[in-house]
Amino acid sequence: MFSRSSAAQALPPGPALEGRGALPLVAVWGTLGVAALLVQAILRLAPLALEPIRERSLTATQAILYVTWAVASLYFEGYRAFQLRFCPRVVARALHLSQHPRPLHVALAPLFCMGFFHANRRTLLLAWGTTAMVVGFIVALRHVPQPWRGIVDGGVVIALAHGVVALLVQLGRALGGARLEASAELP
């Protein structure tokens, strides 16, 4: 279920939690902080995603669209984006931070792990660009009526939930000594 991506296989082996200077609690703080942000989004969106199901307001076509969107979101966002790209980078950056702690980076570890600062140009653009895009979608989606909003939110909730599980699995593997196949994408 949690296999390596072909892009990750091309990278040199990433960090592992080892060495005298490693502080595993820093890696845990950074990764669990990211997971907490994702869980917060799930808790906010889940009631909206479930509303058309609870109220039985979906037509047959809308129900098929809901399931199709959920499956597509699970694959493209949950698996391809979160599991294969985002989660390995977050854990690699958390491990790097645990081995090279700086007070400000440790204090802001979840943001560091997501690549909002002290990252290469590509990662910075990706972190900030994705955030801007998500904020734009949130603002636009507020004006979409049910059941359409619930359909979209249903796919998002499923993708985020898969992302949280993938993140925790990868953190567990890293803390268990597994070598990551991802780069910390540092400047």
pLDDT-derived band at 17, boundaries 50, 70, 90: low
Instruction: Please name the residue ranges forming H helices in 10-147.
Output: 24-54, 60-73, 87-99, 103-107, 109-114, 121-141
Query: How confident is the model at residue 181, as a pLDDT?
Result: 86
Query: What's the rounded mean pLDDT across residues 9-29?
Result: 64
Domain-wise residue ranges, the chain: 20-175
pLDDT-derived band at 11, boundaries 50, 70, 90: very low
Average pLDDT, the chain: 90
pLDDT tens per residue, range 100-153: 999 999 999 999 999 999 999 999 999 999 999 999 999 999 999 999 999 999
pLDDT tens per residue, range 24-72: 999 999 999 999 999 999 999 999 999 999 999 999 999 999 999 999 9
Question: Which of 151, 162, 144 lies closest to 64 in space, CA to CA?
Answer: 151
Question: Which of 104, 82, 45 lies closest to 182 in space, CA to CA?
Answer: 82
Question: Which of 156, 146, 160 lies closest to 54 in space, CA to CA?
Answer: 146
Helix (H) or strand (E) holding 167, with range, is helix 148-175
> Is the predicted pLDDT of residue 9 greater than 90, yes or no?
no
